[in-house]
C-alpha cells in the first residue's frame, strides 16, 4: 500500500510504501479489494485499530477502508547503500515501519 507524506519538510509529497503479507484475493468476494489475512497479521491489526471496525473474517479485509484517510506514521529513511556509502536522494528509499494513529 502506498501513502503520501503531507507534513512539511524534505519528504513532503513523497510516496512511501507500507508492505503487508497477504494472501490472494478471496475468489468468493466480488470486490478485488479484499484480501485473505491472518488474525495476527499486521494488516489485520492495523485494520481493526485504525479503521475502527472488526473485519468480517479472515477473507474480508477491505483495503479501500484506508483510502482518503490521514495517518500519523513512523517512517524509516534509508540513505546509505549496503556498503554504507551515501547515495543520491533520487535513488534513496524509505518505508513506513508503523502506522501510529488516524489524524482527524
Do residues 11 and 3 lie in contact, with contact meaning Cβ atoms separated by under 8 Å?
no
More confident residue, 81 or 7: 7
Kindly list the domain boundaries of the chain, sorted by start residue: 21-73
Is 0.85 topped by the overall pTM? Answer: no
CB-based contacts of 18: which residues, under 8 Å, 6+ apart? 1, 2, 3, 73, 95, 96, 99
- Whether the pLDDT of residue 71 is over 80: the answer is yes
The pLDDT value recorded for residue 49 is 85
More confident site: 62 or 25: 62
Band (pLDDT 50/70/90 cuts) for residue 87 is low
Q: Are 71 and 7 in contact (CB under 8 A)?
A: no
What distance in Å separates the CA atoms of residue 52 and residue 56, rounded to the nearest whole number? Answer: 13
pLDDT at 44 exceeding the cut of 80: yes
Cα separation values, 17 from 30, 83, 85, 93, Å: 26, 23, 23, 10
Three-state DSSP at 90 gives: helix
Amino acid at each position: 500500500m502506498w501513502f503520501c507524506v503531507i507534513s512539511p519538510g524534505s519528504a513532503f509529497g513523497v510516496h512511501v510504501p507500507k508492505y503487508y503479507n497477504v494472501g490472494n484475493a478471496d475468489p468468493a468476494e466480488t470486490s478485488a479489494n479484499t484480501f485473505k489475512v491472518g488474525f495476527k497479521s499486521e494488516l489485520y491489526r492495523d485494520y481493526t485499530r485504525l479503521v475502527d471496525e472488526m473485519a468480517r473474517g479472515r477473507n474480508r479485509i477491505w483495503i479501500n477502508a484506508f483510502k482518503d484517510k490521514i495517518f500519523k506514521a513512523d517512517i524509516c529513511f534509508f540513505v546509505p547503500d549496503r556498503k554504507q556509502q551515501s547515495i543520491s536522494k533520487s535513488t534513496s528509499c524509505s518505508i513506513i515501519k508503523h502506522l501510529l494513529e488516524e489524524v482527524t
